[in-house]
Structure 1
Amino acid sequence: MLRQYRDRAGLSGEQLAAMMGAKWTGPKISRIEHAVGAITAPEVAQLLECCGVSDPEIVTVLEELARNAGKSGWWSNYGTSAVPQHVEDLIYAEGEAESIRSYHPNVIPGWLQTAAYAKEITMATAFRIPPEEHPAIVDLRMRRQAVLTQPTGLPRWRFVLHEALLMQRFVSHPMLMPEQLRRLLDVSQLPNVEIQIMPLDAGPHPGAGGTFIVFHFARPWPPIVMTEDRNDMRYFEGDEVAGEYDEAFERVMVAALPVDQSRETIKKHMEGHAH
């Protein structure tokens, strides 16, 4: 976000550093912008002033962020295997967002998983992490689901899941999928959650590019887009990139089944798994 204000002011990192004082350098500015360098609340206020930002709401929010930097979150006891940096970023984003829109073609997202499904998926995908560390990953995922029903500031959630996910089978656990699909139906009844299903016979749509999530926050925070593949999660910040993915998501929703029909589709597959 600081980078965004510097760019708007038309300043290079070196120019901003010169305005900040003798102890500042371009690399120091870069480290702070990439959240790998420390900055105090008074320094935040000075930096924003150099960038021409005088809105007291923005200054106050960023000063508070600087004061809280380095404090441990509730997830800190889980260890780095369960909470690598990209997962910590995700926890922050999901906890602060006003709305979250996501498309999932490969795996039912963690927010909607049962513990049994999470265990099987973790065993299949986290094969480079020692098995004894898998329970912590699953437990963390279950705790994160509290964000769906947190007592204040409920975010609005819109999920689109590919129908193929409803057809997964776990031979050694025949009741796993009926329970998982029941979980989808239960969550879909929450007043702040909508789930749509992308049918098997859907035509081409922007979701063909893979999993993506768009987070929108209260002012002054810019929106964030997260994309995911086998090897990495990537984050992009700003109105322009979020606008592109919001448009993509609108097209995905049009291609997907309506909410009511999606619920019937989930029920159909749940009944099919039960036989």
Structure 2
Amino acid sequence: MRHIPAVRRHRLGDELRRLRRSAGLTSGETARLLGWHQSKVSRIETGVSRVKDTDLAGLLDALRIGDPQLRTLLGALAGTAGDGPGWWQAYGGVIPPGYRDFISLESQASAARTLETSVVPGLLQTPGYARAVTRAALEGLPAATVDALVDVRLARQEVLRTATPLELHAVLDEAVLRREVGGRAVMREQLRRLAELARLPHVQLRVLPFTAGGYAGLTGPFVVFSFPHIADLDLVVLDHLTNSLYLERKEDLEAYRAAFDTTQAHALSSEDSLDLIAGIGDGA
């Protein structure tokens, strides 16, 4: 059984409780509809127990939840969507469960706020840059494994090209632009890609210049995901190359939201950020 972060179990339980109450049912009535003991409904709604995919489907049917997007999102929170036919399942032998879980959530998110302090965010990387980062971070990997990890990184970018694309807000430390990952040619191509993507209506890219000095997110990169349909469901994830760490305390979520907002406020405007990217690219 896969580990599902407690923050997700609790958020899922809160939403299921809200949906049950909206349906005008008590926990006892819901349990009787499903042939369960009332304590099972209670354990699911309080986040004590992980809900199986079949149980979640039955529960949503009992609550008359027919919206397929909402059902899929709730499945992702429960950890059941990651067990389905997502494209990332083909890489099960290469990427660990935590990373697959991250990709599942990313594919369901409506928005992401990301701060990067050292490398270009995965969703914005070119193939050459992704390969250079993978080789540098995980030295000694077989060529086939490197290829697979790069494929995963590039496949994730599809969320920016769908009919309802992910709304991405990215703040990059200036160091990200000036570090020559993979050499000058790779970096020049990467800077051009950043400029292209930054012009998309659903991508906001801003650079925090060296002149800004110290800032709240200086200690490391992070991602804050937001989801459709469910209010106050933001999740903070520390995204590493092949794994992810979920922060489970509400205090952490609030701290990272504030850190992103503060950092973004001290960053260059979108237009000035594009000028800086172009200037560095011309000199690369």
Matched, 1:214 2:214: no
Query: How far apart in 2 are the matches of 1:40 and 1:70?
Result: 14
Query: How far apart in 2 are the matches of 1:44 and 1:72?
Result: 21
Could you tell me how far 1:72 is from its partner in structure 2? 2.5
Q: Structure 1 counterpart of 2:59, which letter? A: V
**Counterpart position of 1:12:** none
**Counterpart position of 2:50:** 32
Matched, 1:100 2:115: no
**Structure 1 segment 128-147 matched on structure 2, within 5 A:** 129-147=141-159
Q: Structure 1 counterpart of 2:169, which letter? A: R
Query: How far apart in 1 are the matches of 2:188 and 2:218?
Result: 27
| Unaligned ranges ≥5, structure 1 | 10-15
Distance verdict in 2 for CA 1:101–1:179, change over 3 Å = same
**Counterpart position of 1:166:** 177
8 Å contact from structure 2 (residues 99, 242) kept in 1: no
Query: How far apart in 2 are the matches of 1:23 and 1:69?
Result: 26
Over the residues paired in the alignment, what is the CA RMSD in angstroms? 3.7
**Counterpart position of 2:237:** 226
Query: How far apart in 2 are the matches of 1:159 and 1:116?
Result: 21
| Unaligned ranges ≥5, structure 2 | 1-7, 18-27
**Counterpart position of 1:75:** 88
Number of residue pairs the alignment of both structures matches: 254
Could you tell me how far 1:98 is from its partner in structure 2? 1.5
Distance verdict in 2 for CA 1:92–1:121, change over 3 Å = same
**Counterpart position of 1:87:** 99
8 Å contact from structure 2 (residues 82, 100) kept in 1: no
Could you tell me how far 1:61 is from its partner in structure 2? 4.0
Could you tell me how far 1:102 is from its partner in structure 2? 0.4
Could you tell me how far 1:76 is from its partner in structure 2? 1.8
TM-score by length of 1: 0.77
Q: Structure 1 counterpart of 2:50, which letter? A: I
**Counterpart position of 1:13:** none
Distance verdict in 2 for CA 1:125–1:211, change over 3 Å = same
TM-score by length of 2: 0.74
Query: How far apart in 2 are the matches of 1:197 and 1:217?
Result: 25
Matched, 1:184 2:194: yes
Q: Structure 2 counterpart of 1:32, which letter? A: R
Q: Which moved more, 1:236-245 or 1:116-125?
A: 236-245
Could you tell me how far 1:234 is from its partner in structure 2? 1.1
**Counterpart position of 1:246:** 257
Distance verdict in 2 for CA 1:125–1:27, change over 3 Å = farther
Query: How far apart in 2 are the matches of 1:59 and 1:165?
Result: 39
Q: Which moved more, 1:222-231 or 1:99-108?
A: 222-231
Q: Structure 2 counterpart of 1:99, which letter? A: A
Q: SS state of the match for residue 204, structure 1?
A: coil
Q: SS state of the match for residue 224, structure 2?
A: strand
